[in-house]
Amino acid sequence: MKKYSYFPGCSLKGLGRAYEESFLAVCKALNIELKELEDWNCCGATAYMAIDEHHAVALATRDLALAEMNSTEDLLAPCAGCYLVLNKANKYLAKYPRIGGTVRQALAEEGLKYEGRIKVRHPLEVLLNDVGLEAIQQKIKSSLRGLKVAPYYGCQIVRPYAVFDDQYNPTSMDKLIEATGAKVVEFALKTKCCGGSLTGTLAKVGQEMCFNLLHEMKRRGAQVVATACPLCQFNLEVYQREIAARHKEDVRLPILYFTQLIGLALGLPKKALGLQRQIVAADRIPAECRAENPI
């Protein structure tokens, strides 16, 4: 049994709760034990950096301190935003003693201490390197053979701090998807930005970026998209109607989390994987696998 600390972040308790549900279910099935940080706070996301870097680092460091004071395990952050921010805080603490000093003093007054030992990791890396493809393949109960999946990494897992994958052509998710039996659709935009919060602030700009992605995924024959970030998932899924109307093009594609696909292949019940939370339903997935592949 492998053990980790777990930082869900706000999205996994909110709009992206299917990511948490499927992640927890997959971990359980693969014998991974997670311990959620006690009374964690928001990591600060991109918004806090736009206000003040000390505040941004302080928020993330409080979470790192909670992890360090309670265990020695690595900290898993499935949300791409949290993953980047927590890693960034680790870098800033080491690189900028002035910021680190102020932040640590404020934390100390609250009885918290962080020495910089916590390694922040993404589930993609853990499933690939700690669990391993072979161990996953051995537990596959219902292969997704025949299903064409576009793996979409987005920005913040691979840029700028990813240590476990290539920044230009990441393949960790590709390998995990192939382990489920599904076929990976090659497409060049797998790390191109979905627009992040622009879809909510400057909708036209954000949706234009989503259109480029959906158009390319569909053109390459994807039947479903795998994501590893709650904001990517949301952006690509919920604006499809508006995008289709604006561009007069069918962009309908179910947008799943990679953990949901792995869960399906492990034979976990759909409800445990949060599949009922899809706005663009992914009901046809198992049927599609069988139709494509009668064996």
Partner 1 sequence: MLRIEREIRYEAERDRSFADEIKKMPGCELMDRCIQCGTCSGACPVSIFMDYTPRKVIELTRSGFKQDVLKSTTIWLCASCYACTVECPKQIGITDVMYALKQKAIEEKVYPPRFPIPVLAREFFKMVRAKGRIAETKLAILLFLKTQFLKIFGMQRLGIDLLRTGRFSPFSLIFPESMKDPAKLTRLIDRLDAKLNSRELEARLESGNPSRPCCPGGAK
Query: Which residues form the interface with partner 1 (CB under 8 A)?
Result: 10-11, 13-18, 39-42, 44-55, 58-59, 62, 92, 95-96, 99, 102-103, 105-107, 109-110, 155-156, 159-160, 167, 192-193, 195-198, 200-202, 205, 209, 238, 241, 276-279
Measured from the CB atom, the residue of 64 and 179 that comes closer to partner 1 is 64
Structure tokens at 217: 């995924």
- The answer to whether residues 2 and 76 touch, using CB atoms and an 8 Å cutoff, is no
Which CB, 136 or 152, lies closer to partner 1? 152
Which residues are 76's β-sheet partners?
A: 6, 121
Closest distance of CB 34 from partner 1, Å: 19
CA pair distance 10, 63, nearest whole angstrom: 13
Q: In whole angstroms, what is the distance from residue 254 CA to residue 174 CA?
A: 17
Give me the DSSP letters along 212-267. HHHHHHHHTT-SEEEES-HHHHHHHHHTHHHHHHHHTS-----EEEHHHHHHHHTT
Least Å from the CB of residue 120 to partner 1 = 16
CB of 267 vs partner 1, minimal distance in Å: 23
Instruction: Collect all residues with Cβ–Cβ distance below 8 Å to 54 and sequence separation of at least 6.
Output: 99, 102, 103
Between 29 and 238, whose beta carbon lies closer to partner 1? 238
The least distance separating partner 1 from the CB of residue 259, rounded to whole angstroms, comes to: 16
Minimum CB–partner distance for residue 55 and partner 1 (Å) = 6
Q: Which is nearer to partner 1, 180 or 260 (CB)?
A: 260
| Shortest distance (Å) from residue 101 CB to partner 1 | 9
The Cα 88–Cα 175 span in angstroms is 27
Contact by Cβ (8 Å): 141, 266: yes
Q: Toward partner 1, which CB reaches closer, 88 or 183?
A: 88
Smallest separation, CB 222 to partner 1 (Å): 20
**Cβ-based nearer residue to partner 1, 9 or 263:** 9
Nearer to partner 1, 155 or 261 (CB): 155
